[in-house]
Chains A and B, each alone.
Chain A
Amino acid sequence: MAGNDAIVVKNLKKSYGKNNVLKGINLTVKRGTMLALLGPNGAGKTTTVRIMSTLLGFDDGTVTIEGHDVGTSSDDVRSVIGLTGQSAAVDEILTGRENLEMMGRLYRLTRQSAKARAQELLEQFDLTEASNRSVKTYSGGMRRRLDLAVSLIATPPIIFLDEPTTGLDPRSRIAMWDIINQLKADGKTILLTTQYLEEADQLADNIVVIDGGKVIAEGTAKSLKSKVGKDRLELTFAKMSQLEAAKKLLGKSVIDSSDQDKTLTVVIVDTNKDVASALTALSNAAVPIESMAIHKPTLDDVFLSLTGKAKKSSNGDEKTAKKGKK
Chain B
Amino acid sequence: MSSKPVQLEFVRHPKAIQAITDSLLMIKRSSTHIIRNRDQLIGTFFQPIMFLVLFTAVFNAVGLALPKDISYLDFLMAGIIVQTVAFGSTTTSIAVANDLQRGIVDRFKSLPMSNIAVLNGHVISDVFRNGISTAVMLGAGVLFGFRPEASITDWLLIVGILTIFTLAFSWLSAIMGVLAGSVEGVQWMSFLIVFPLTFASGAFAPTSSLAEWIRPFAENQPITHVIEAVRGLMIGTPIGDHGWIALVWCIGTIIVAMPIAAWLFKRKTIKV
Q: Residues of A with Cβ closer than 8 Å to B?
A: 50, 53-57, 75, 78-79, 81, 83, 85-94, 98, 102-103, 105-110, 112-113, 116-117, 120, 123-124, 134, 150, 154-155, 182, 186
Contact indicator B29/A94 (Cβ below 8 Å): yes
Nearest B residue to A104, CB-CB = B8
The answer to whether B68 has its CB under 8 Å from any CB of chain A is: no
Contact indicator A110/B112 (Cβ below 8 Å): no
- Within 8 Å by CB of A106, from B2, B25, B103, lies B25
Contact indicator B9/A110 (Cβ below 8 Å): yes
Q: Which residues of A contact B107 (CB under 8 A)?
A: 83, 85, 89-90, 103, 150
| Complex CA distance for A119 and B11, rounded to whole angstroms | 19
Q: How close is B263's CB to chain A, nearest CB, in angstroms?
A: 15
Contact indicator A83/B25 (Cβ below 8 Å): no
Contact indicator B270/A57 (Cβ below 8 Å): yes
| Complex CA distance for A87 and B22, rounded to whole angstroms | 24
Nearest B residue to A182, CB-CB = B1
A/B interface sample: 26 pairs, CB < 8 A: A53-B110, A54-B109, A75-B112, A78-B110, A83-B107, A85-B106, A87-B103, A89-B103, A89-B104, A89-B106, A90-B104, A93-B33, A93-B36, A102-B28, A105-B25, A107-B111, A108-B11, A109-B10, A113-B6, A113-B7, A113-B8, A120-B6, A150-B107, A154-B8, A154-B10, A186-B1
The answer to whether B18 has its CB under 8 Å from any CB of chain A is: yes
Interface contacts (Cβ under 8 Å), in number, total 99
Q: How close is B268's CB to chain A, nearest CB, in angstroms?
A: 12
| Complex CA distance for A91 and B25, rounded to whole angstroms | 13
Within 217-272 of B, Cβ neighbours of A (below 8 Å) are at: 269-272
Known: A56-B272, A107-B111, A113-B9. A124 touches B33 (CB 8 A): no
| Complex CA distance for A106 and B108, rounded to whole angstroms | 9
- Within 8 Å by CB of A120, from B5, B21, B111, lies B5
Nearest A residue to B105, CB-CB = A89
Nearest B residue to A53, CB-CB = B110
Within 1-39 of B, Cβ neighbours of A (below 8 Å) are at: 1-2, 5-12, 18, 21-22, 25, 28-29, 32-33, 36-37
Q: Which residues of B contact A150 (CB under 8 A)?
A: 107
Nearest A residue to B18, CB-CB = A108
Q: Which residues of A contact B6 (CB under 8 A)?
A: 113, 116-117, 120
| Complex CA distance for A108 and B107, rounded to whole angstroms | 15
Contact indicator A83/B106 (Cβ below 8 Å): yes
| Complex CA distance for A296 and B270, rounded to whole angstroms | 40
Binary per-residue interface labels of chain B (109-138) against chain A in the complex, 1 for a CB within 8 Å, 0 otherwise: 111110000000000000000000000000
Q: How close is B74's CB to chain A, nearest CB, in angstroms?
A: 40
Contact indicator B2/A55 (Cβ below 8 Å): no
Contact indicator A109/B11 (Cβ below 8 Å): yes
Contact indicator B8/A109 (Cβ below 8 Å): yes
Q: Which residues of B contact A116 (CB under 8 A)?
A: 6
Q: How close is A26's CB to chain B, nearest CB, in angstroms?
A: 23
Known: A83-B107, A103-B111. A109 touches B1 (CB 8 A): no
| Complex CA distance for A79 and B6, rounded to whole angstroms | 18
Q: Which residues of A contact B110 (CB under 8 A)?
A: 53-55, 78, 81, 83
Known: A102-B25, A120-B2. A108 touches B104 (CB 8 A): no
Contact indicator B103/A108 (Cβ below 8 Å): no
Q: Which residues of B contact A78 (CB under 8 A)?
A: 110-112
Contact indicator A56/B271 (Cβ below 8 Å): yes
> Which of A55, A98, A120 has the most CB atoms of chain B within a 10 A radius of its CB?
A55
- Within 8 Å by CB of A109, from B5, B9, B103, B105, lies B9
Nearest A residue to B10, CB-CB = A108
| Complex CA distance for A89 and B269, rounded to whole angstroms | 13
Q: Which residues of A contact B36 (CB under 8 A)?
A: 93, 134
Nearest A residue to B12, CB-CB = A108
Q: How close is A45's CB to chain B, nearest CB, in angstroms?
A: 15
Known: A93-B32, A124-B2. A117 touches B8 (CB 8 A): yes
| Complex CA distance for A89 and B37, rounded to whole angstroms | 20
| Complex CA distance for A83 and B36, rounded to whole angstroms | 28
Q: How close is A110's CB to chain B, nearest CB, in angstroms?
A: 5
Q: Which residues of B contact A117 (CB under 8 A)?
A: 6, 8
| Complex CA distance for A112 and B111, rounded to whole angstroms | 19
Known: A56-B271, A105-B21. A110 touches B11 (CB 8 A): yes
